[in-house]
Structure 1
């Protein structure tokens, strides 16, 4: 009896990873079309082709999926630039955030923050998967700047991040002042002036 050779493996990502990416893409689309409150797990399943059981295997609820989809978009818009200059790194990161928040995703972000006020589970998801990664990026930029002697070592990196991110979110939420590249650069430069080592 002859043994048939095993079929060659097809290239590409494993099926589970393809499903995960499809779920995140479908969730992003639904967030922009109907909003986080109206979006359902059934709609995510139907659009992505992944079963509800598969979705719940990776995420506890639709808000967790929404936050990861939102974070995936944000990281593409505002990655770690690592230019060799803390000033330039912060400027690029904050420009990316401002551009992201003033686009269609700003409405989604406001909805997630609104849900977090009354739902501790949503707040915890936001803290763990959205706030923490952004703050980790800001801290990495800060630590490189301190190591190069550009920034003061006696300043708490978390406070420094708040000084830069806070005004951007304030302008986003209230809309009292512009949030374009020039405005974002001014906010960063003003913060760096007080945080720098010069």
Structure 2
């Protein structure tokens, strides 16, 4: 029964991504707002009750599907020196947000603006851990002497990642590797340790 339950759970996550237009088997894609539990259940071959057994809401399900798709591609590497790890991570985030993952997270952020439950799920299932990982990465920069010892790691992380979200949400300029490289160079120049 456990294997079957996990099989159903994976089918639900995969169906959610496919309906949203993410992944190799993607359909034309719908929006998070228009996505329904009924459509997910039908595509996954399960009942709505099965979905609600694991997820309290559509937002929770979409967030879990997003996290499964997104996090492996944007991990913060611990096997690299700070600057290389930062470059690797920022470029990975920009690359993912330039595609369908970006469209999905932008829709989740939009949903969060008028639905407190979605905002809470977004923080709990995605944002809080990502923020902690970014702050820990910046703290590594402080520890390695690349970032000034008196710099606030939370503020430095915000300065680096906020422009990515601006471009994602406002679409006022492209999310590309040149942007990622310029962003890192500018942030590290401003936050550099001074001798």
Q: TM-score, normalised by structure 2?
A: 0.87
Matched, 1:120 2:109: no
Written as runs of structure 1 = structure 2, the 5 A alignment for 1:153-164 is 153-164=149-160
Cα 1:17–1:147 change in 2 (3 A) is farther
Aligned to 2:12: 23
After the TM superposition, which parts of structure 1 deviate over 4 Å for at least 4 consecutive aligned residues? Answer: none
1:61 and 1:42 mapped to 2: Cα distance?
A: 12
Give the match's secondary structure for 2:119.
Answer: helix
Say which of 68, 72, 90 aligns to 1:72: 68
Written as runs of structure 1 = structure 2, the 5 A alignment for 1:52-131 is 52-131=48-127
Find the structure with the greater CA-based Rg.
Answer: 1
Unaligned runs of 5+ in 2: 22-28
Unaligned runs of 5+ in 1: 1-12
Cα 1:187–1:57 change in 2 (3 A) is same
8 Å contact from structure 1 (residues 87, 189) kept in 2: no
Per-residue Cα deviation, 1:149-183 (whole angstroms, up to 9, x for no partner)? 32233222221111111011112222222321111
CA positional deviation for 1:63: 1.0
8 Å contact from structure 1 (residues 24, 68) kept in 2: yes
Aligned to 1:9: none
8 Å contact from structure 1 (residues 30, 44) kept in 2: yes
Give me the CA root mean square deviation.
Answer: 1.8
2:7 and 2:74 mapped to 1: Cα distance?
A: 24
Written as runs of structure 1 = structure 2, the 5 A alignment for 1:1-20 is 14-20=3-9
CA positional deviation for 1:59: 1.0
Q: TM-score, normalised by structure 1?
A: 0.86
Per-residue Cα deviation, 1:38-90 (whole angstroms, up to 9, x for no partner)? 11111111212333222112211111101111122211221122243211111
Give the match's secondary structure for 1:14.
Answer: helix
Give the stretch that moved more between structures: 59-68 or 153-162. 153-162
Give the match's secondary structure for 2:141.
Answer: helix
